[in-house]
A and B are shown apart, each in its own frame.
Chain A
Amino acid sequence: MKKLVHLLFIAVTICFTAQAWSTDTYQFQDEVTQKRYQSLVKELRCPKCQNQNLADSNAPIAADLRREVYELLQQGKSDGEIVDFMVKRYGDFVLYRPKVSTLTYVLWFGPAVLLLIGVIVVVIILRKKPARKVQKSLSNQQQNKLAEILKDK
């Protein structure tokens, strides 16, 4: 248990330091802008190293795009405008949460539909079971045979 707590502590520390190095180079005029910056670099995906967001990535392009986000924030751009700026240049791909469109319906609603199908299947199976149990009781002929066998013993 003690070991586990220790490991957890290390993991949490690593998470926080990873966040820190990508933000500490920039000065923000207020806390709100800093919060917006941090959420933006977490929402935007690094186009070079695709499993990471801008905040976590060490790729040079991620550093450039972080700087771009910072500069756009300094220019007073809204979050939507900054996201549009990135999408215009790097495509929908830069968004970690894909937009809801005809292309992404399956992505957004597929899991819910699958879950629904699963629930329906389970309900159907559960409803069928009791009906079978009734049939399991022995017929008269079988009862008699059973009685005979038991008598012999």
Chain B
Amino acid sequence: MNRRTFLVTALAGTGALALGVNLYSPSYVGVNKHLNSEHQLLFSLLVPVFLDGALPQTESLRVAAQNRTIDAIVATMALLPTDARDELEQLLTLLESRLGLLLLTGSMTPLLLRTPNELIEMLEKWRSSYLDMMVTAYQGLRELVVASYYACPEHWGRLNYEKPILFS
């Protein structure tokens, strides 16, 4: 996947382009939830990385699958108990702020401007970090994304899995 299609699919799905502009304006630091309360833009960047190889090849199907997954992520987050949701919100908010990015990734470059390979590099750093906080961040995001993706029956085709039909 080249960088341009990556960005296009990431954004087409969310309709959050406008939010992105606000998000990365220099005055945006810290919590400002109404700008993008559901973190859709952020997930539109992370979902294709976590699910590379699982998402459908065909562009329109892939975009649909990404959108469904983001919806499922938002739904999942709403169900988390307060403590867990607060923690996750904190992490996402950090990832959406330049200072937070610096803290978590050692660079202020917005995730939006990073290539898929750079995002993978970031995840791999967290994954193998000696800091529990980083590993937890990686695992929290990973679990949220893969669980939300495989929650949708539309994504079971590749597994050759179907739930049984008990009653006809």
Same assembly: no
Chain B residues engaging chain A, CB cutoff 8 angstroms:
none
